[in-house]
Structure 1
């Protein structure tokens, strides 16, 4: 999928939120400036969470509670694993962050988490983002186990219908 602007990336994130549910793990990969945080902002908007979604680089993780008044139902945990490095037990490392939302009860997005956090859930969605020279983004969604294949297909069909 090709998205022309950062706003298009946020809009796609909002649509992606429509197929997400508690317990979902998304591993966002791509070079610096590819649009991982813009995608997370869109997902947060689609999940109707409280607070501004910004890069958690320096705090490592942020928990965004659902905005119940706006119809939000599930928290979003946004993690930036860039500074975590390679660890023997990523689950323990994430648990050490002392987040007040569990992976099972929230939608968890992990930037820079490839190779470190995939075992946090039985199934996960890998979101590969690349930024082209013209500032457009190419996004590939790769489901690993579970029903991700069906959900990605439903999202692709809904996106194609929008034009």
Structure 2
């Protein structure tokens, strides 16, 4: 990740558009080989966030939830890294104690791209995808706090941290 984006922080994003805009800033700072892990409950905004990353990375293709396809490659429009969007839960299974070969599992999908030449964004990837890189960016989505304050709120609180 380029040094133009802070390696940790917390922000409150009021709308889906705010989430996409924030993620676009991060996407512009991502580099080949980066791994981003998205963690949060259903409906927290992980796919919306990935749509913003895709915009910032300037990749092609409509970003949708990877739940039914497990993984999707979005090719760069500018010669930058491709974006590999993965549903880690579906790819690696639901047993958190099972031994998982993340690299082997991704490779078995025959994604037609080199993992080192791409940015990997994994929804539900905590505890699984970290073995793909020495460092990774963990992004946590909190929708509960805003909804407790105002049941009509669309806000989400994002926290991110570069892990080693």
Q: 2:84 aligns with which of 77, 81, 97?
A: 77
CA distance in 1: counterparts of 2:14 and 2:132, whole angstroms: 32
Q: What TM-score, normalized by structure 2, do the two folds share?
A: 0.82
Say if 1:127 and 1:142, in contact at 8 Å, map to a contact too: yes
Residues 4-58 of structure 1: per-residue CA shift (max 9 Å, x gap) = 0011000011001122100000000000000000010000001110111111110
Q: 1:5 aligns with which of 7, 12, 15?
A: 15
Question: What are the equivalent positions in structure 2 for 1:116-155 lying under 5 Å apart?
Answer: 116-131=128-143, 132-133=146-147, 134-145=153-164
CA distance in 2: counterparts of 1:75 and 1:62, whole angstroms: 10
CA positional deviation for 1:98: 1.4
Count of equivalent residues: 142
CA positional deviation for 1:95: 1.5
Gaps of 5+ in 2: 1-10, 148-152
* CA RMSD in angstroms, aligned pairs only: 1.2
Say if 1:25 and 1:103, in contact at 8 Å, map to a contact too: no
Q: Give the 4+ runs in structure 1 shifted more than 4 A.
A: none
2:117 maps to 1:105: yes
CA distance in 2: counterparts of 1:110 and 1:27, whole angstroms: 5
